[in-house]
Amino acid sequence: MMTMMTGLLRSSSVMLFLLVSLSVMALAQSRRGAERGADKGTLNKETFMDMESVSNPAISPDGRQIVFTRSWVDKVKDERVSNLWIVDIDGSRTRELTSGPWRDSQPVWSPDAKRIAFLRDRDGTNQLHVLWVDTREAAQLTHLEQAPAGINWSPDGKLIAFTAFEADNDPILAVRLPEKPKNAQWAKPAVIVNRLAWAADGRGPLPQGFTQVYTIDSVLGGTPRQITSGKYNHNTPEWSADGKTIYVSAIRKPDAEYLRGDTEIYAIDLKTLAVKALTTRSGADGNPQVSPDGRWITYTGYDEQKFTNHVASIYLMDNAGGSKKLWAGKLPSSPQGVRWAPDGSGVYYEMEEQGSSHIYFISVDGKTRQITKGTEILDAYSMASSAQGNGQVAGIRTSFKAPGTLVTFNVKDPANMKTLVDVNEDVLAGVRLGDAEELWVTSKDGLKVQGWLIKPVDFDPAKKYPMVLWIHGGPWSMYSVAFNWAFQNFSANGYGVLYMNPRGSTGYGQEFVNGIQYSYPGKDYDDLMAGVDASVAKGWIDDKNLFVCGGSGGGVLTAWIVGKTDRFAAAVSMRPVINWHSFVGTTDGPNWYYQFDKYPWEDPMQYAVRSPLHYVANVKTPTMVMTGEADLRTPMRQSEEFYRALKMLKKETLLVRMPDEYHGWRRPSHQLLQQLYLMAWFEKHSNKNKGAPVDTDTSQK
């Protein structure tokens, strides 16, 4: 602009130029403003960090109040923070209980409903706190090196049980260096490993030690009393009705680290600390819950059948470990949140099935009924524990177009469900979202498979739209009807989004889970292609602009798909396994060896033929690979191996390395970047944009 102006000698010409320039600038700003105004009606990328969430609902024993965790994005620190809020059961007096730029979570009411125990992370380590509801005063009870978990009040409210890490300082191989010179700065000592698992994704290297159960004074705190001992991990502490015993789940057996999932339930006498095993079978037994009268214990578990993933059942026994029986079996998925009715008439539990999640009840005489219904996810439920609570429940409800909201209802009238808190109502006001359509398709071998197809916003059946096949991880998990920002953002950008539950998914029973036993990936590929075929057959999908992506297990299948077909215009494999032979020994645990019926040194070809690397020469699809550099679940070396093979073959590819991220990305900006890189790669390789540059400002709303 300045160069042009210096060439104008007459002042009138200068004035004319300025007027024209200002007019052009005003017009451009007007157009950008109009574009932003149009974008405001859809779920654009700016909404990602504005979205909040509610979780951890806990209803008071008398059923009058609900405390919950409210989380949001600190845009300056690029992290999620959370505080505790509380609301009356009628929706009135919604108010903040804790405040500050840290993470408060996992609230648990005291039996008298006067105090709330919770975890607070101020400096990188959660600590146990107790808050007085009437004054909002809080006291820190623990000062541990490792975070406590499994908070559980004693029946009289005097003690709190929890689990925490105990270091094992026994030397593995003792050596002694010569004495250091004064002010010497020697290198760090070696780390000696003698365990099957020495690191965990999201945590990093694991110190030598075990998880033990402790109790602590609920008012004064002080030094916790250690209840369990030995070189075993203990979990899910549960008090007896009289407060004299704590029940735990553990593997207190020789070679415990080799006994995959073979947990038992133990009773620990709090006076003598004597330990008694109440279960002894081969298979998992855990999550003990004591009946209100203290006579019975319900628990979840299964008989070991060497499945790669077992669907658990609900069992019942007396408090001495006798009279065991299967209470609820052959379930579509493992039950969660099993808890007794206050009158001891049976137990309630939460269960996923065919994309939804609901609450169920089974009576002591074995009669089961579904409490909540509908095309929605209702999870994290909490029930008033006293008779005074009269069956009042709090939970988090979500559906295709509704992010999680805090709701309440009574089990006697579950249809009358009331929304108490919606923290995203302001963000979504006036925002148009894509409609979702349920699909049931028939796979190549006749198996019926469920999925959903989200249509683009402002869908016009006369138009053709690109479509993304988005594959879930696990692989033993379930896509659901819950709100999904990423899917709806693609919908806002003119894409259809297909997501399926191929065989191996949970929510459809044990036989469906077993569909990938010793054969993953395998026929799940056929299930996904059947979903793509059914979507294209609807007539509005542009079959020249199909895209595919997925993370973890979805990354595996994405990498597998591009080695099997070239029907997709572009693909993004996120956090994948590429070479099973190298993966099983380098991931953060030994369990993936059990996905195969032989070890890799016994039958290497079994691992090769299930590895996407084995088919890399077939790849014709432009394929981007994206993984966190700190990932310990599917280590970066897996992605590098695939990327380099593609590059050696001169395939169209990119490697996106997200710094400091584990398997589940923590930084909000990185989570948003994943979405933007996906869309940029798909736009770049869209058949509509072949050879044309992509303007990310207009292509990524």
Q: What is the tens place of the pLDDT at every residue in 197-231?
A: 999 999 999 999 999 999 999 999 999 999 999 99
Is the separation of the CB atoms in 72 and 81 below 8 Å? yes
Instruction: Say what the pLDDT of residue 301 is.
Output: 98
Q: Determine contact, residues 568/175, Cβ cutoff 8 Å.
A: no
pLDDT band at 40 (very low <50, low <70, confident <90, very high): low
pLDDT, position 32: 34
- 5 pLDDT more than 80: no
Q: Report the C-alpha dihedral over residues 434, 438, 443, 446, rounded to 10 degrees.
A: -170
Q: What is the DSSP string of 181-226?
A: PTT--PPPPPPP--SS--EETTTEEPPSEEEEEEEEETTTEEEEEE
Neighbouring residues of 413: CB distance < 8 A, sequence distance ≥ 6:
none
Rounded percentage of the chain residues whose pLDDT exceeds 70: 93
Confidence of residue 690 (pLDDT cuts 50, 70, 90): low
Distance set, CA 214 to CA 108, 121, 246, 270 (Å):
17, 20, 10, 11
* Dist. CA 56–CA 84, nearest whole Å: 9
Nearest of 663, 501, 510, 696 to residue 574 by alpha carbon: 663
Burial of 57 (0-12, 13-18, 19+ CB in 10 A): buried
Do you find a cis peptide bond into 600, omega within 30 degrees of 0?
no
- Tell me the C-alpha distance between 630 and 653, whole Å: 22
Closest among 167, 299, 300, 295 to 241, alpha carbons compared: 295
As beta bridge partners, residue 81 has 72
What angle (nearest 5°) sits at the alpha carbon of residue 366, between those of residues 364 and 372? 95
pLDDT band at 700 (very low <50, low <70, confident <90, very high): low
Q: What is the mean pLDDT of residues 149-153?
A: 97
| C-alpha span between 576 and 408 (Å, rounded) | 39
Instruction: For residue 179, report the phi and psi dihedrals to the nearest 5 degrees.
Output: -65, 135
HSE of 189, CA atoms in CB hemisphere, 13 A: 9
The arithmetic mean of pLDDT across residues 523-546, rounded, is 98
Average pLDDT over residues 139-167: 96
Measured between alpha carbons, how far is 435 from 524 in angstroms, rounded to an integer? 26
Distance from C-alpha of 419 to C-alpha of 409, rounded to nearest angstrom: 9
215, 271 in Cβ contact below 8 A? no
pTM: 0.91
Cβ atoms 427, 51 nearer than 8 A: yes
pLDDT tens, residue by residue, 430-470: 999 999 999 999 999 999 999 999 999 999 999 999 999 99
In this structure, are residues 333 and 356 in contact, taking their beta carbons and an 8 Å threshold?
no
Query: How many helices, marked H, and strands, marked E, lie in the chain?
Result: 12, 38
Dist CA 95 CA 468 (whole Å) = 41
Region 278-287 average pLDDT: 97
Report the range of poorest mean pLDDT among 176-185, 268-277, 347-356: 176-185
Q: Is residue 363 within a helix (H) or strand (E), and if so which, with residue range?
A: strand 356-363
352-379 mean pLDDT: 97
Domain ranges within the chain, ordered by starting residue: 432-699
pLDDT of 567 over the 70 cut: yes
- Identify the band that residue 688 occupies on the pLDDT scale cut at 50, 70 and 90: confident
Using CA atoms of 432, 95, 111, 109 in order, give the dihedral in degrees to the nearest 10: 50
Backbone angles phi, psi at 122, to 5 degrees: -100, -35
Top pLDDT among 28 and 285 is at 285
DSSP secondary-structure letter at 612? G
Contact status, residue 384 vs residue 62, Cβ threshold 8 Å: yes
Helix, strand, coil share of the chain (percent; to 5): 20, 35, 45
Confidence of residue 699 (pLDDT cuts 50, 70, 90): low
What are 585-609's pLDDT values in tens digits? 999 999 999 999 999 999 999 999 9
| The pLDDT value given to residue 24 | 34
Q: Using CA atoms in the order 481, 485, 487, 490, what is the torsion angle rounded to 10 degrees?
A: 150
pLDDT of 102 reads 87
- Which range, 15-19, 203-207, 674-678, has the best average confidence (pLDDT)? 674-678
Mode of pairing for the β-strands spanning 570-574 and 623-628: parallel
pLDDT recorded at residue 697: 53
Fold observed for domain 432-699: Rossmann fold (3.40.50)
**Lookup: tokens for 28:** 């451009």
Q: Please provide the average confidence, as pLDDT, over all residues in the chain.
A: 92
Distance CA 689, CA 192 (A): 54
Percent above pLDDT 90 for the chain: 89
Question: Region 488-516: what's the mean pLDDT?
Answer: 98
Q: What single-letter DSSP state applies at residue 177?
A: P
> Do the Cβ atoms of 583 and 592 come closer than 8 Å?
yes
Q: Is the pLDDT of residue 9 over 80?
A: no
Residue 666: pLDDT above 60? Answer: yes
pLDDT value for 124: 79
51, 403 Cβ separation under 8 angstroms: yes
CB contact at 8 A, 576 and 653? no
Q: Residue 462 CA to chain centroid, in angstroms?
A: 38
**Which pLDDT score, from 0 to 100, does residue 691 have?**
47
